[in-house]
Structure 1
């Protein structure tokens, strides 16, 4: 596993357990917005699900509590997902 990834936090990881990436899983980096710098585990996602991006629940969005942050794959670089908007 890449050493840089070993120190990164994964979105939704258990705060009491392992918070970093796990070998054999697929991750994308979230860039911008309230979840900037976190990794998102997309292991098992279909190509259609990946292309659709994700509306991720977070208490850090502008619509707290219960807000979501929308992230979409960056054109030309599927390993990076860019924030586009916070949603209620």
Structure 2
């Protein structure tokens, strides 16, 4: 669906920005890029960060539906309520 497509694009874009910020702190252009993720567009807030006992957990707002592909499991940032504790790919949100 369009929603999943844009969520996946936003997830990649956010991860790219985060990685650039880690490897090149203070890089010009990252602030405007982060602002795009806050604007009311299809890229709006693709991920959220939740506090956990072991630290902050990055989680998608919309499920990427990867688990529907044969021989695949839930992604490590899965928000799906279908996720169960026995899935070795990640812990439940």
TM-score, L = length of structure 1: 0.30
TM-score, L = length of structure 2: 0.29
Larger radius of gyration: 2
Q: Judging by fraction of residues, say which structure has more strand.
A: 1
